[in-house]
Amino acid sequence: MELRSLDGTVTLEGNLVAFDGAYYQLDSAYGRLTVAAEGVSCAGPGCPDLSSFVAEARIAGEATVAEGLLPALLAGFAQDRGMALAGPETTGEGLVYALTRRDGSTAARVVVAPGTSDSGFLALLNGDTDLALTLRAPTEAERRADRAGAPDDPPLIRRVRVIGLDALVPVVAPQNPVDALSQAELAAIYTGEIDNWQALGGPDAPVALHLLEPELGLAQTFATAVLGGAPREPAAGITTHASALALATAVARDAYALGVTAQSARGTTRSLPLAGACGFSQGADPNAVKAEDYPLTAPVYLYLAPRRLPQLVRDFLAWTETEAAERVVAEAGYVNQSLTRTPLALQGTRLANAVAAAGEEVPLAELQRLVETLGHAERLSATFRFADGSVDLDAQSRASVARLAAAIEQGAFDGRRLVFVGFSDGGGRAEVNLRLSLRRAETVRAAVLAAAEAADPDRVTLDVDAFGEAMPMACDDSDWGRAVNRRVEVWLD
C-alpha cells in the first residue's frame, strides 16, 4: 500500500499491519509506523475499504464479569453512539457481540472470551487480546513475563483501568443466626480448625463449606487475603462452584452452609460483616466498598495490551469513565466510583473507633483537633491506600486520582477547600506514623495536582493534614486490618 499526504508532498510505502478505523499501521523502510487516516489518501491492494470497515476488539477474562457487567457496559456504549448491541453469538472465537447502526449494518465486532483471571492475563501476555478482564492484580510471575515481552512499554500496573467495584463477602442462608465473622474465624473455618456453628455463636451443627473454583479471581483473592498468612491445608469436603450465582443458590438452600462469594452475586443469601477482635465491624455497603474501608474490596480490572489499541477500544475506555457508565455499573449490581459525600456527623462509628483506640500515643487533644478540623466538612468517597511503609498507590487509588482530578478540572469544587488527610496503622511509634501519614497526604495531593493539568489553581484550595493513628477503621491485629488503616482521605470544606 501507499499512503500519500493530502498535499502530495510526502509518500510512504509498506505492508498494512492493521487499520482501526482511524489509524493505519504499516511496515515500511523506516520501521513500523502509525499514520492518521484523516491526513492521507491510500492506494494499492492493501488499502482497506473504508465504506464497509468493521472495527474489531477482543476482550478475555473473568466469566462472572464477561457475562454480567461487560454486556451491560457494551450496550450502554452502543446506545451512547446511537447504535444497538446485538448478540452474543457463540462461535469458535468466543462470544461475539455486534454494534449495529440504525440501518442494520455492522459498525463493530467485540469478541469476548469468558474464562478466568488466569486466562485473561495469559491472552494478554501472548498478544491474543486487547483487554484482559480480571478480578485480581497480576502475580509477580505475570509481571516478569510482561516486562520480558514488552520491556520498553509501561508495566502492567500502569496499563490498567478500574471499571467497577465488587467485594468478597462471607454469606449464609437468611435463617442462620450468626451476624458477623472475623478474618481469623474465616481462616480457621476454611482450614478445618472450626467445623461447628456452635463455636461461632450458632446452633450445634457442622458448617457446610462452599467456595468458588480455585482458578477464579475471587477465589485467588480469598486464598491470598484471608488464608495467605496461614500455611495450612484447606478443610476437607469444601464444595466448589464454577460461578458466584451457583454458590449463592446452594448456600441459600442450606441453613448450615457458609460461602465466600461476590457481593454483586449473593442472591438471596445474607452477607456477614467482617468483625475484629478489638470490636470494629465493617459490612460491604457501597460507601465502604467505594472508599476501600471494607477490607475485601474486589476491583474489576481491565488490563491493556502494550500496543496502540484500536480506536473502538480507546473510545470504550474513555466512555467507561463517564456518568452514564457509572449508572450502568450500579444498575448491574456493582459499586461505581462516582464521588459521594458524607459529613462527619453521620460517621458515628468512626468517631467511636477513634475514642476507643485513644491512649497515651493519641491524646484527647489530638481527637479534639480532629473534630475541630473535620467537624463541618464532608468526606469524599475517594480514598487512597498504601503498602506498609510505602507511599506507592494501589490500582484503585490511582483510578481515584484520575477521577478526583477530573472533578476538579470540571469545577465541581470551585470556591471550596479540599483537605487531604493522612492516617496510619498503629505499628511503630506514633510520632513516626504521624510523619508518614502526612507524607502520604502530600504524595496524594501532588498526584492529583499533576493529573488535573487543566484546573485553575485559584478556583480551589488543596491543603494537607494528618492524624496518624487517631481514627482506625479496623483492628491492627491482621495484615488486612493494618492495610485498611493506612490511608489518605479527602475532605471537602
Check if the beta carbon of residue 85 is closer than 8 Å to that of residue 98.
yes
Closest CA to 456 of 415, 419, 401: 415
* pLDDT exceeds 90 at position 469: no
Condensed to tens digits (0 to 9), the pLDDT of residues 252-282 reads 999 999 999 999 889 999 999 988 666 567 7
The model's confidence at residue 177, banded by pLDDT at 50, 70 and 90, is very high
Range 218-237 average pLDDT:
79
- Full-model pTM: 0.81
Distance (Å, whole) CA 262 – CA 248: 9
Identify the three-state secondary structure at position 28: strand
* pLDDT exceeds 90 at position 229: no
Share of the chain above pLDDT 70, in %: 93
| pLDDT at site 387 | 65
* pLDDT exceeds 70 at position 458: yes
Average pLDDT, the chain: 87
| pLDDT at site 85 | 95
Range 34-52 average pLDDT:
83
The model's confidence at residue 358, banded by pLDDT at 50, 70 and 90, is low
Condensed to tens digits (0 to 9), the pLDDT of residues 413-428 reads 999 999 999 988 878 7
Range 54-71 average pLDDT:
90
| pLDDT at site 61 | 95
The model's confidence at residue 290, banded by pLDDT at 50, 70 and 90, is confident
Range 447-453 average pLDDT:
90
The model's confidence at residue 309, banded by pLDDT at 50, 70 and 90, is confident
* pLDDT exceeds 70 at position 295: yes
User: Which comes out higher in pLDDT, residue 89 or 362?
Assistant: 89
The model's confidence at residue 203, banded by pLDDT at 50, 70 and 90, is very high
| pLDDT at site 470 | 81
- Residue 332 cell numbers, joined: 448491574
User: 193-202, 332-341, 477-486 — which is least confidently predicted?
Assistant: 477-486
Rg (CA), the chain: 25
Closest CA to 466 of 427, 419, 413, 426: 419
For CA atoms 365, 371, 374, 379, give the dihedral sign: positive
Q: Which residues of 413-449 are buried (b: 16+ CB within 10 A; e: fewer)?
A: beeeebbbbbbbbbeeebeebbebbbebbbbbbebbe
